[in-house]
Amino acid sequence: MQVNITFRHLEPTEALKSHVKGRVEHVQRYIDRPSEAHAVLHVENLAHHAEITVKAGRFLLRGSAKSKDMYASIDEAADKIERQLLKHKGKLADHKNGTHGEAAPVEVRHDVLDIIDHPERPSHRVVKSTAFQARRMTVDDAILQLDLLGSHFFVFQNFDDGAFNVVYRREDGSLGVIEAHTA
């Protein structure tokens, strides 16, 4: 696994580098594919911050922590990533064992629009279009996917009622759910 380490306001030492690499390799045992990781270590007002990002296939996992000791911060950030992976692996195992519905995923398209200013009538044009599958899952699974992907929203088909829902991250950091029901 490729591990990149960035030091800010901190002297780069071999001990810190090897500790980060060791913790990332420990997390690697939960990942099937080769991946890459990036760690940012910095000190701010006597607080030691560690931010670790691991790219695992299509998932981007992030863990950050701060404490009075850099080694403790690194350990806590890596533990957060490990918990995310374990939770996700458990959800996948539940899904494969048949605890979730077997409905076929539905194709969804997400367009990013730009407003074209015209003196007489404003219009829109598509800047970017992304197609993906809205899989059938619970709200908890959708929140997990939202966190794993590091996205602002996630579209899914609700396991309970089959309706299309959107889980999104609000400006205040909390989460919201939009439920779409047919009229």
User: What integer pLDDT is reported at residue 148 of this predicted model?
Assistant: 78
User: What integer pLDDT is reported at residue 118 of this predicted model?
Assistant: 64
Q: Which fold has domain 106-180?
A: SHC Adaptor Protein (3.30.505)
Per-residue model confidence as pLDDT tens digits over 42-78: 998 889 999 999 887 667 788 999 999 999 999 999 9
- What residue spans define the domains of the chain? 2-96, 106-180
Return left, alpha or beta for 80; rule: phi > 0 is left, psi -120 to 50 is alpha, else beta: alpha
Q: Tell me how far CA of residue 54 lies from CA of 2, 75, 77, 126, in angstroms.
A: 10, 14, 11, 32
Q: How confident is the model at residue 162 (pLDDT cuts 50, 70, 90)?
A: confident
Per-residue model confidence as pLDDT tens digits over 138-151: 888 888 888 877 77
Gap between the terminal Cα atoms of the chain = 51
Is pLDDT of 177 > 70? Answer: yes
Interstrand relation of 36-44 and 47-56 (parallel, antiparallel or unpaired): antiparallel
User: Residue 162 carries which DSSP code?
Assistant: -
pTM for the model: 0.52
Q: In CATH, what number does 2-96 get? A: 3.30.160.100
Is pLDDT of 27 > 90? Answer: no
Q: How confident is the model at residue 93 (pLDDT cuts 50, 70, 90)?
A: low
The widest CA-to-CA distance across the chain, in whole angstroms, is 65
User: What integer pLDDT is reported at residue 107 of this predicted model?
Assistant: 66
